[in-house]
Chains A and B, each alone.
Chain A
């Protein structure tokens, strides 16, 4: 064999890197400075958010004398759950000293129906907008998208007038209606985009099979909507639970949600400022959205990524 023939047969020379090892098998991984930088940043960011949480938890487990010592970061010497019990049952807002618990139940009464009603409406909206385009559907959709960007403050006063005129201002149904209305744009957008990503043939096949508007919705679309419904539930539960503005304006004193009650407890001007109780109350109020995040984070990501449905 001549040299020319050899190169013709073996045209690819093994390239050798600086270490003198010919490439073979999996490519070796190198830790680049950029990657280290990213991790350092992530750790710092995590600490930044975790330190206040840490302070809140340790403070809520200390007695008042220990707090007065001023050692913000130290672990509680004699851990006590009394501040938690006080926050839940006895903390005072003005003259009432019933703790946060009434607020918790009010928040439940507001959140559960609001979430259910808004998601039902939004999924039907999204479905209709996607599969049953009627005259003006695009205009309606445009308005809805626009609605997602309207600042709340602008519409509060007109809404107060509107709800008062039908006798729903400062009532439980009133606040539920408000939350449902304000959830509509973003939720409809969410469901419409989800349905728009489904193959339209699915809808056509169901039409040929003789199914109508509701049959297709309940038998075909709804069973496929689980991932996006989970996303919607998370969005709505956290949004409505954390709401303060609508709650204080539209719910009425007897229905004030937990956030409003927390504010009243923390800002009470009479007596000593009980930091441990305040901290416990704050953690209790934040607990519901926190639990939702922890339990459903996996679902959330999956739902967001579930645009394309295989099969």
Chain B
């Protein structure tokens, strides 16, 4: 089986991992294409780091196998897998200078002196850390430390980069700066990257594909836009998007030859909604993102209704308007110029095409 040929860089097959009696990863499958940027996204404790550690060879897996560049590396040592890893806590060797930190792996591998010098120079140039080479990690800022940590993976000239929440310890401004840098780095190097985060913005901005995880199971693996627009279940829908998607609980009913979503006096015709399969009448959850609802913009919408504003939350460029739909909390995102007053009566309209319907019981997309 030659997987490098068909462009697969990392292939995880039926991977399971148990800590004692606790099953953390459950028969997980994931193929990452050559040069692809895949983000593992999920709440804390869902097994993202565990999965990454398995790929790196830092944890012994319980079941399954792992291929990197077509080679079965299931039993290989981390250093023989062609991977570099960047950790949340930077994990720089505190007693070594930046230069020694970068060269450690190369010295262990016994590379010739001039080759080491060359590689460090290249990495330092790419990451713009040349002036820091003789400093100890304790004399660096958080952003600089993480740059050095990335450099440590860079000098090893590996096929696959593994990032475990590399930006989580940085403040918001640095985080967005380094995010862009990582994206640029990926464009420049064109190598495979698997990136763990619980931050949906990082996931959305960086990923070619996002794997949303929950409880050790990949819920959905798709392009960011697909995951955003057509989440496969209620968990994915609620996890992505800030402010979060609105959920209205009610029933799916058939009226004549068209389907509608009904909750109390609210009745949303679903003429434009694309069902995943054959819908069935019964309890359901209607989800729509705050930015897909329009406020006071006429009646040209497939669906419109009126409500009273309860609370207004200004967020800078936008404002989040909270109101009630069928006695359930509902938010609408408007530009700040169009902010309504508290208690103002407003009309809201949207196209059910942009909505997501979920089974009330299983949470799966209908």
Contacts and interface: CB of A to CB of B under 8 A. Distances in A.
A219 B91 CA distance: 14
A208 interface: yes
Given A201-B88, A202-B93, A210 B53 contact: no
B87 A204 contact: yes
B152 A205 contact: yes
Contacts of A202: 91, 93
B58 A224 contact: no
Interface of A: 199, 201-202, 204-211, 215, 219-220, 223-224, 309-311
Interface in B47-74: 53, 56-58
B108 A201 contact: no
Contacts of A309: 94
Interface of B: 53, 56-58, 77-79, 83-85, 87-95, 104-105, 108-109, 136-138, 149, 152, 156
Contacts of B89: 199, 201
A106 to B, nearest CB: 37
11 contacts: A201-B89, A204-B91, A205-B149, A205-B152, A207-B77, A208-B56, A210-B78, A210-B108, A211-B105, A224-B95, A309-B94
Contacts of B58: 204, 207-208
Contacts of A208: 56, 58, 78-79, 83-85, 105
Contacts, number: 68
B108 A199 contact: no
B79 A209 contact: yes
B108 A211 contact: yes
B108 A220 contact: no
A209 B91 contact: no
B88 A311 contact: no
Contacts of A206: 93, 104
Contacts of A201: 87-91
Contacts of B137: 311
A43 B136 CA distance: 44
Contacts of B85: 204-205, 208
B95 A205 contact: no
A223 B93 CA distance: 10
A256 B171 CA distance: 63
Contacts of B77: 207, 210
For A201, A206, A224, the residue with the greatest tally of chain B CB atoms inside 10 Å of its CB is A201
A93 B152 CA distance: 65
Contacts of B136: 311
B152 A311 contact: no
Contacts of A311: 92, 94, 136-138
B108 A215 contact: yes
A282 B156 CA distance: 61
B138 to A, nearest CB: 4
Nearest to A207: B78
Given A201-B90, A204-B87, A209-B104, 17 more contacts: A199-B91, A204-B56, A205-B152, A206-B93, A207-B58, A207-B78, A208-B58, A208-B78, A208-B79, A208-B85, A209-B105, A210-B105, A211-B104, A219-B104, A311-B92, A311-B136, A311-B138
Contacts of A199: 89, 91
Contact of A223 (B56, B83, B88, B95): B95
A142 to B, nearest CB: 17
Contacts of B57: 207
Contacts of B104: 206, 209, 211, 219
Contacts of A205: 85, 87, 91-93, 149, 152
A208 B104 CA distance: 11
A150 to B, nearest CB: 30
Contacts of A219: 93, 104
Contacts of A310: 94, 138
A199 B84 CA distance: 18
A156 B87 CA distance: 50
A199 B87 CA distance: 11
7 residue pairs, one from A and one from B, having the closest CB atoms? A210-B79, A209-B105, A201-B91, A223-B95, A201-B87, A205-B91, A311-B138
A223 B97 CA distance: 13
A271 to B, nearest CB: 58
A75 B91 CA distance: 60
Nearest to B95: A223
A106 B192 CA distance: 64
A199 B93 CA distance: 11
For A205, A220, A224, the residue with the greatest tally of chain B CB atoms inside 10 Å of its CB is A205
A208 B82 CA distance: 9
A35 to B, nearest CB: 37
Contacts of A211: 104-105, 108
B57 to A, nearest CB: 8
Contacts of B87: 201, 204-205
A294 to B, nearest CB: 28
Given A201-B88, A309-B94, A311-B92, A209 B108 contact: yes
